[in-house]
Amino acid sequence: MLAICPEVSCVHDRSRRPLRVHDVHEGLPASLSVVEVQSTFYEPPRDEVMKKWRLVTPSLEYTMKVWQLVTHAGNSPTYRRMKRPLDPKDEPGFFRDSPIVQEGWRRSVECAKLLSATAMLFQCPASFSPEPENVDRMRRFFDRIDRPRARLLWEPRGAKWVAQRDLALSLCRDLDLVHVVDPFVTQPQPGHPVYWRLHGITGPRHTYTDAELQQLHRMLLDAQPDEPAYVLFNEMPRIGDAKRFSRILEAGS
């Protein structure tokens, strides 16, 4: 089984029109029956909104991003998208043992339950580098939390983590996390779970060429996952690219 997933709620299509869950779901082939919700990262929606998503898309599988309060420090530009202002005394991000990080995790778990999300993604910025202090904070965070039913995924970003791929894999093994990569940036580990997030080779406006999608297909075959694979397109032309990749897979099956 392969789930090819366009992400929703964060970026826009080519017309700059916000994409909503029902827009993405209508008319999609079965292989595109999964979406990753990004609005839970910036500022989680109201309960009523998520309940409505679940009601109108009963067959859709949801995965979601954990609220940035858990992963991103207070100086991150991503907080510009959060309506609620941070208090100068707050200590968000980097898996700190602080009240606001605890709040971010608690609300993320609530969202996962409302969406019946099958996976929760911790996306870390490049500023969360593989320094001993950060690694120790991360280990202590996952030691103290209660595990939800959803799978827990971790996407380290930045060149330092690409260079420290073995450390990232070791952390995922020790903490029972899925290592999330862009396979065009970080070489996937064969035989490991596949949850890939494609950010665009040249940036968020990148449209993957047929040759690049064929290369992606070969990388997926080489990865040899033992369980269902998830490939998510996170650039602006993501829905079209996801559909084109689905057709490549169907032709090669």
Name the residue ranges covered by the structural domains of the chain. Answer: 2-252
Rounded-to-integer distance, Cα 2 and Cα 4, Å: 6
pTM attached to this predicted model: 0.89
Strand partners, 123: 155
Dihedral sign computed on CA atoms, order 178, 182, 185, 190: positive
Type of residue found at 226:
D
Confidence of residue 22 (pLDDT cuts 50, 70, 90): very low
Which pLDDT does position 140 carry in this prediction?
98
Q: What is the CATH number of domain 2-252?
A: 3.20.20.410
- Tens digit of pLDDT for each residue in 178-194? 999 999 999 999 999 99
Instruction: Tell me which residue has tokens 């080519």.
Output: 14
Confidence of residue 4 (pLDDT cuts 50, 70, 90): low
